[in-house]
Copies of this chain bind each other. A is one copy, B any other.
């Protein structure tokens, strides 16, 4: 067999199959192996809202896209080079995402009559046999049959055997991209611990897939994707929600606090709860409340008790927390509020991504109750940004919003994780004893306008807090008109002051002045960076700035923006951050919106930039 080895800079693979086909697992194994090999990697899982939507149908298709390369990759790839289609529905649902000329690996038994019908192909229509796939290279193999054959003598039931067929495909891909099986073999040992028969069976199938690649004639070439020139360091692969969870633990450790995590399950935020629940040996208290209101109120109670209270949800659950958010703001207690955004409005698109809760974070409560808002821009950035959220919360005695989204939360990338000792210190100012005052005055402020954290158990600091307007300094209930205005302004100023402690806004890519500034926030980072990098290479006068601090905004942002002729604000919503920019800086910032529950492709950004350049 002739084996050609083609070198590739980046490759995007889309695994698509039925919800029960284990595509998420396949994808993450392939990711881990490539990451460990040294590629830069970015992933994007995309699954249906139903637990297991009807087998064989379009609604039941579960996808996992990954982009890996020997160069930096910032997105899971606009379009796929390779599409793995485990059945007809998967092919139908995913074909649009494949590049013209791309490769399709199909599982033949997923294209039988029943599957074709379930996928909505009309009578006798079959994409494998008609010419509809002419623009692609199709590699057919009967994965189901091959897997069954491979495990025929194990005595396992067909149902059980079929569960391993994803491992066959994985083996094939390892062969194609010239990767070792070790990571996945190790994974079997942990996952099936104590079940040697399962370890053996999966090992057998994975290896069979690998050798199938090697021996079958359908492959004409293997590919080589060399390690990426990642900066020196030790790396791991990390998902956004995971990074968020361990960021919280890191923050409380560095602040010498205990973590209280009050949450009510909701997609796509629940995984943070699941992750934290695994780490009780860090003293983490996870509290699954009866609802979102109870969750935030419990977290506020814990913060009053001296813990770092954290609460998490997604859009609809965050909407329920509005009243308590205003309460936390007027109490001036630390609180971290995580919103892993999903498609809205209302229940919306629970498993799809969107950035449409920014206005809710900024304004979604009664009265004047400004709250700092920060947003991570990649999966690993969740670590840094949640750490910042926790820092701001305790150092400035305020609730802080952390706006992640489904795309970041479930995506993954290599992460050059820090050492504990290198994390910036978090300064907590808990009072340990009563002062000289006869009566403790809980709302006395320091030069940053921050009050102290006085925690029950300390003699001499007994005090009462509440949601009624407070007299300055004493915190006693006050209906005095002038005092109210003073307190509203003090609280607002305290939050505004945070801009003194955050870094100036930088230009990510490009010159610091020019024709177009692509100004993004949150998960559009990768698409913007890829697009602007390529445009700059092509000589276009465009730059990228990406905002992580949405309230207060970096002090120099207005100045930075003013140095560009045009400002383009891409968002996965109907235009929210752009409102803020227009209101604040009175520049005619141009909204660029996609509201499809899926991220921008870098191509879309590129085209838009070129369009506005005229």
Q: Are B596 and A484 in contact (CB under 8 A)?
A: yes
Residues of A with Cβ closer than 8 Å to B? 48-49, 59, 293, 314-320, 322-323, 326-327, 329-330, 341, 343-352, 354, 356-357, 359-360, 362-369, 466-469, 479, 481-482, 484-485, 488-489, 492, 573-574, 579-580, 582-584, 586-588, 594-598
Taking a contact as CB atoms closer than 8 A, the residue among B326, B348, B586 that contacts A367 in the complex is B348
Complex Cα–Cα for A414 and B387 (A): 59
- Report 10 cross-chain contacts, Cβ distance below 8 Å, ordered by A residue: A48-B479, A49-B479, A319-B365, A327-B345, A344-B369, A345-B365, A352-B479, A481-B597, A481-B598, A492-B574
Taking a contact as CB atoms closer than 8 A, the residue among B349, B481, B582 that contacts A582 in the complex is B582
Q: Are A368 and B345 in contact (CB under 8 A)?
A: yes
Chain B CB within 10 Å, residue with most, of A344, A360, A366, A582: A366
Given A315-B367, A346-B369: A479 in contact with B322 (beta carbons within 8 A): no
Taking a contact as CB atoms closer than 8 A, the residue among B484, B485, B582 that contacts A586 in the complex is B582
Taking a contact as CB atoms closer than 8 A, the residue among B315, B345, B369 that contacts A345 in the complex is B369
Taking a contact as CB atoms closer than 8 A, the residue among B346, B364, B468 that contacts A348 in the complex is B468
Nearest CB in chain B to that of A325: its residue: B319
Expressed in whole angstroms, the minimum distance between the Cβ of A346 and any Cβ of chain B is 4
Q: Are A343 and B318 in contact (CB under 8 A)?
A: no
Q: Which residues of chain B come closer than 8 Å to A350, judged between CB atoms?
A: 468
Q: Are B469 and A348 in contact (CB under 8 A)?
A: yes
Complex Cα–Cα for A344 and B574 (A): 29
Nearest CB in chain B to that of A357: its residue: B366
Q: Which residues of chain B come closer than 8 Å to A484, judged between CB atoms?
A: 343, 349, 352, 595-597
Q: Are B319 and A344 in contact (CB under 8 A)?
A: no
Complex Cα–Cα for A583 and B48 (A): 37
Q: Which residues of chain B come closer than 8 Å to A369, judged between CB atoms?
A: 344-346
Nearest CB in chain B to that of A586: its residue: B586
Expressed in whole angstroms, the minimum distance between the Cβ of A17 and any Cβ of chain B is 17
Q: Are B360 and A346 in contact (CB under 8 A)?
A: no
Q: Which residues of chain B come closer than 8 Å to A467, judged between CB atoms?
A: 316, 346-348
Q: Which residues of chain B come closer than 8 Å to A468, judged between CB atoms?
A: 49, 346-350
Q: Which residues of chain B come closer than 8 Å to A330, judged between CB atoms?
A: 345-346, 348
Nearest CB in chain B to that of A347: its residue: B467
Complex Cα–Cα for A564 and B586 (A): 17
Complex Cα–Cα for A48 and B356 (A): 40
Complex Cα–Cα for A588 and B584 (A): 10
Give me 9 other A-B pairs in contact (C-beta within 8 A), A344-B368, A488-B574 excluded: A49-B468, A317-B323, A319-B365, A341-B366, A343-B484, A344-B366, A347-B467, A368-B573, A485-B594
Q: Are B318 and A366 in contact (CB under 8 A)?
A: yes
Q: Which residues of chain B come closer than 8 Å to A322, judged between CB atoms?
A: 319-320, 322, 360, 364
Expressed in whole angstroms, the minimum distance between the Cβ of A529 and any Cβ of chain B is 23
Expressed in whole angstroms, the minimum distance between the Cβ of A603 and any Cβ of chain B is 16
Given A484-B595, A485-B595: A326 in contact with B346 (beta carbons within 8 A): yes
Q: Which residues of chain B come closer than 8 Å to A367, judged between CB atoms?
A: 315, 343-346, 348, 354, 356-357
Q: Which residues of chain B come closer than 8 Å to A327, judged between CB atoms?
A: 345-347
Q: Which residues of chain B come closer than 8 Å to A344, judged between CB atoms?
A: 326, 366-369
Expressed in whole angstroms, the minimum distance between the Cβ of A608 and any Cβ of chain B is 15
Q: Which residues of chain B come closer than 8 Å to A479, judged between CB atoms?
A: 48-49, 59, 349, 351-352, 597
Nearest CB in chain B to that of A574: its residue: B368
Q: Are B368 and A595 in contact (CB under 8 A)?
A: yes
Q: Which residues of chain B come closer than 8 Å to A595, judged between CB atoms?
A: 368, 484-485, 488-489
Complex Cα–Cα for A595 and B482 (A): 8
Expressed in whole angstroms, the minimum distance between the Cβ of A577 and any Cβ of chain B is 11
Q: Which residues of chain B come closer than 8 Å to A351, judged between CB atoms?
A: 479
Nearest CB in chain B to that of A59: its residue: B479
Expressed in whole angstroms, the minimum distance between the Cβ of A328 and any Cβ of chain B is 9
Nearest CB in chain B to that of A329: its residue: B345
Q: Are B329 and A323 in contact (CB under 8 A)?
A: no
Complex Cα–Cα for A598 and B345 (A): 35
Expressed in whole angstroms, the minimum distance between the Cβ of A405 and any Cβ of chain B is 12
Q: Which residues of chain B come closer than 8 Å to A586, judged between CB atoms?
A: 582, 586-588
Expressed in whole angstroms, the minimum distance between the Cβ of A24 and any Cβ of chain B is 17
Nearest CB in chain B to that of A363: its residue: B359
Expressed in whole angstroms, the minimum distance between the Cβ of A21 and any Cβ of chain B is 18
Expressed in whole angstroms, the minimum distance between the Cβ of A582 and any Cβ of chain B is 5
Chain B CB within 10 Å, residue with most, of A369, A469, A489, A586: A469
Taking a contact as CB atoms closer than 8 A, the residue among B347, B368, B579, B583 that contacts A356 in the complex is B368
Complex Cα–Cα for A479 and B583 (A): 33
Q: Which residues of chain B come closer than 8 Å to A314, judged between CB atoms?
A: 366
Complex Cα–Cα for A354 and B367 (A): 8
The 3 closest A-B pairs by CB, nearest first: A344-B367, A315-B366, A345-B367
Expressed in whole angstroms, the minimum distance between the Cβ of A283 and any Cβ of chain B is 31
Chain B CB within 10 Å, residue with most, of A345, A354, A363, A489: A345
Complex Cα–Cα for A293 and B315 (A): 16
